[in-house]
Amino acid sequence: MNQETRLRSFRGRFSVLTAGAACLAAALLTGCPTGTAYGPLSNSDLRLFQSRYVYGVSGEATDVAAADFNGDNIPDLAAINNDQQNVSVLLSEGATKYVKAKDYDLGDTPSALAVGDTNGDGRPDILVCNETFGQVTVLTSRGDGEFNEPALWELPAGATPRGLAVADVNGDGLPDIVTANAGLNSVSVLLGTAEGGFEAARSFPAGTGPRWVIAADLTGDGQTDVLSVNRDSNDLSLFMRSGANLNNAVSLRCGLAPRMAAAGDLNGDGLPDLVVSNTGTNDLSVLLGQGGGAFAAERRVALGKPPTRLSLGDFDRDGRLDAAALLFDSADTGSLGVVAVLLGDGAGGFAAPLFFGSGWQSFGLCAADMDLDGAPDLVTADTSMKAVALLRGRGDGTFESDRRFATGVVPSAGVTGDFNGDGHTDVLVANAGGGSLVFMAGDGAGRFTAQPAPVPVGGIPIALAAADLNDDDAPDVVVSLKGQKTALLLLGSETGQFVAGPAVNLLPDGSAYLPISYSLTLGDVNNDGRPDLLSANSGADSVSVALGRGDGTFAAPAEMRNISYPLRAGLADLDRDGTPDIIATSSRDPEQSSDQAEPRIVRLLGIGDGTFNTESMLRVATGSYPADLALGDPNGDGRTDAVTAHPGSDGVYIAAGAQGGRLAKGEKLGVGDLPVAVLLPDVNADGKADILTTHAAGYAVVRISRGAGRYDASRHFLTGDTALVSFYQDVNGDQIPDFITLNRGTSDLSVLLGQR
């Protein structure tokens, strides 16, 4: 499809895709549902950021398990692909490398995955529930990473199995199969035989709608018990073993709509405890074991979103069990793409959760030491990317993936700075969905906390800029509001509190237009040492400059017209005369069919007194629909270049600076699908500006500059869902800049910590 059609197809997906420090895709893209990933695999040879690894499989992976399938003592991976009705096996080559997945066919609608030795040969086999036809498929291992043809074992008619486990349930030394049957409100046990097969299923009544099953010693007597998680009756059914038999179920209370349970000793008393994910109450239930099948009354651990899959492990290597839980969206209709990690206190409690990106549509979760470094890692099945993702554990309770921090509803713009005077980088976030600003206080270690009282702004904020405007050593903020002629001025303080200042005119008095400024820039254009305000007025086809007085007020703005639909404007000294010049994007308004303006980069040379020479206006061709603009020297010739991002053409255009402040025609450099923001930092510390793009499909791309217009191939790093605004700044004090995005799709902030 052509670029215009392609952009329109994304309308609604980015309904308020507004400006902010680096992202200006605003009115170009306004709509289609979030949740479809386009991002490539993230396995760069140069690990510039602590991003998760991704390995492709043949279909929409919905579950994942880890085991050593080829006897080399390194965990491998198996993932079921619901749409392809197969299982992909990925054999590890050590650390973070895997052989290309090999697929094995399964029965219809595979819904749950388990790994265990089903025939007593000491090798892990693969078991899968087939939901539609009520079967269990078993692929026995050959021990070399290959598997035999699948064998099918029948369950009672109408079983609709959703959960699966392998264990010796009757104590005869042979592995048995246990299923949770959502269609019959029961669990079934298929006893293993000496020949490696299974007897006909025996069923036991459970609660209503069981979705998960555990087969383990849950009473502390050394015998295998069975526990089902009953979503529709909001309880657990515990089947305690007595000799070779299972007793009738005992009901245990938990939260609403429980999805899964995991067992382990949380408080160090030698007795198994239970952790249950409750999708209906957005929390976990913790039931501490007391022995003999008794459990203490449940305790709740709030998560704020519905938890689904669970894994337990010692993620910070302190000898205490921790928990990880995948989160769904508020309506429990799809994955949030986030995993919550809760560090255990050794007494059955947990610290406040840490959140990490897990994959846009991550459904399966397991914990294992995949790289054999002694720290458990997390692996997720990502349906949207048709992949499994590896989040490497760092041994301190954190993982190599983007760290998530809740912002507010639909973050649309942002700006960084030390807004509370503590010496740490903070982020001020504009939330289009709430009509407010949220102050995200940084702690200097890469973590951010939203302050409890958002700042109302009286409209939809679409752009922010920050600087000390009244000479009190505290940054102040100018906020552009959609549909309003004036910008809001917020005067800052060293406590992080803001006080409204006088309104800031963005257009001269009497203007018939609304500015609709998706780009605000503060800089000194008249060399008086005071910040001035540059506004790109897409609603008025102009840019304007208001000179700062140094007391928190601005003079009346001067307007420069005939710049069609400018989404972004910036300041740089192109002609090297010591005076800032204006560079702006210009293109046709996608909402106005009669607007046929060609895409351009526009330059206006500064005079030095705060005015600009309109006769010096230069228009340079660039790609269609420029959505963002960055100024720097990526080609290393000492002159400022202009780089624009183009969602419709999957690239950036580089307009090289030339003598006299001129710019050459933009030349395209491919970066990948839907780039909506561009930065020009030196990511590898070689003294040259590189190209760093943010993509609405949930990833970032780095093209390292080698000078003279030469760039390395794209390196990809995964970020958040619909990442639209980005910053590059050291937020954890290690002298290595980090990458921050604001994610419209998940209403949060992502931090990818930098590393070298």
Q: How far apart are CA 720 and CA 404, in angstroms?
A: 8
Q: Are 104 and 87 in contact (CB under 8 A)?
A: yes
Residue 37: pLDDT above 70?
no
pLDDT interval class at 40 (50, 70, 90): low
- Angstrom CA distances, 713 to 672, 710, 726, stand at 11, 10, 21
Question: For residue 23, what pLDDT is reported?
Answer: 35
Question: For residue 589, what pLDDT is reported?
Answer: 80
pLDDT interval class at 592 (50, 70, 90): confident
Q: Helix and strand tally (H, E) in the chain?
A: 1, 68
Residue 382 CA, distance from chain mean position: 12
DSSP code for 554: B
Strands 426-431 and 436-442: antiparallel
pLDDT interval class at 591 (50, 70, 90): confident
- The pLDDT tens digits for 728-754 are 999 999 999 999 999 998 899 999 999
- Closest to 284 (Cα-Cα) out of 239, 201, 342: 342
pLDDT interval class at 114 (50, 70, 90): very high
- Closest to 403 (Cα-Cα) out of 350, 344, 341, 325: 341
Q: Are 289 and 309 in contact (CB under 8 A)?
A: no
- Closest to 29 (Cα-Cα) out of 714, 623, 697, 539: 697
Residue 29: pLDDT above 80?
no
Residue 264: pLDDT above 60?
yes
Strand segments (E) across 495-565: 499-500, 504-505, 517-523, 532-537, 542-546, 558-561
Q: Which sequence spans correspond to the domains of the chain?
A: 3-35+405-752
Q: Choose the weakest-confidence range: 244-253, 510-519, 586-595.
A: 586-595
Residue 707: pLDDT above 60?
yes
Question: For residue 17, what pLDDT is reported?
Answer: 34
Residue 34: pLDDT above 80?
no
Residue 244: pLDDT above 90?
no
For the range 540-545, what are the long-range contacts, defined as Cβ-Cβ under 8 Å and sequence gap of 24 or more? 540/507, 540/511, 540/513, 540/514, 540/515, 540/516, 541/513, 541/565, 541/566, 542/507, 542/566, 543/569, 543/582, 543/584, 543/604, 544/506, 544/507, 544/508, 544/515, 545/582, 545/610, 545/612
Q: Choose the weakest-confidence range: 185-199, 441-455, 587-601.
A: 587-601
Regarding predicted confidence, which is higher, 268 or 45?
268
Residue 510 burial (C-beta neighbours within 10 Å; 0-12, 13-18, 19+): exposed
Beta bridge partners of 239: 226
Question: For residue 107, what pLDDT is reported?
Answer: 82
pLDDT interval class at 26 (50, 70, 90): very low
Query: Quick check: helix, strand or coil at residue 93?
Result: strand
What's the whole-number mean pLDDT along residues 253-263? 98
Residue 28: pLDDT above 90?
no
Residue 21: pLDDT above 80?
no
Q: Are 291 and 273 in contact (CB under 8 A)?
A: no
- The pLDDT tens digits for 58-88 are 999 999 999 999 999 999 999 999 999 999 9
Scan for tokens 């255009």, then name that residue. 653
Residue 11: pLDDT above 60?
no
- Listed in sequence order, the residues at least 6 apart from 82 whose beta carbon sits closer than 8 Å to its beta carbon are 59, 60, 62, 109, 110, 111, 383
Question: For residue 600, what pLDDT is reported?
Answer: 96
Q: How far apart are CA 581 and CA 604, in angstroms?
A: 6
Question: For residue 285, what pLDDT is reported?
Answer: 99
Residue 22: pLDDT above 60?
no
* b/e map 139-150, b = 16+ CB within 10 Å: bbbeeebebeeb
Residue 508: pLDDT above 60?
yes
Superfamily of structural domain 3-35+405-752: Integrin alpha, N-terminal (2.130.10.130)
What's the whole-number mean pLDDT along residues 618-647? 97
Residue 18: pLDDT above 60?
no
Query: Quick check: helix, strand or coil at residue 9?
Result: helix
- Closest to 487 (Cα-Cα) out of 510, 518, 511: 518
- Closest to 24 (Cα-Cα) out of 645, 502, 663: 645
Question: For residue 301, what pLDDT is reported?
Answer: 99
Residue 596: pLDDT above 90?
no
Q: How far apart are CA 178 and CA 239, in angstroms?
A: 12
- The pLDDT tens digits for 364-412 are 999 999 999 999 999 999 998 999 999 999 999 999 999 999 998 999 9
- Listed in sequence order, the residues at least 6 apart from 231 whose beta carbon sits closer than 8 Å to its beta carbon are 182, 208, 209, 210, 211, 257, 258, 259, 279
Phi, psi of 177 (to 5 degrees): -115, 135
- The pLDDT tens digits for 303-332 are 999 999 999 999 999 999 999 999 998 766
Q: How far apart are CA 97 and CA 72, in angstroms?
A: 14
Q: How far apart are CA 189 and CA 246, in angstroms?
A: 10
Amino acid at 388: V
What's the whole-number mean pLDDT along residues 559-581? 97
Q: How far apart are CA 12 and CA 332, in angstroms?
A: 22
* pTM for this prediction: 0.92
| Percentage with pLDDT > 70 across the chain | 94
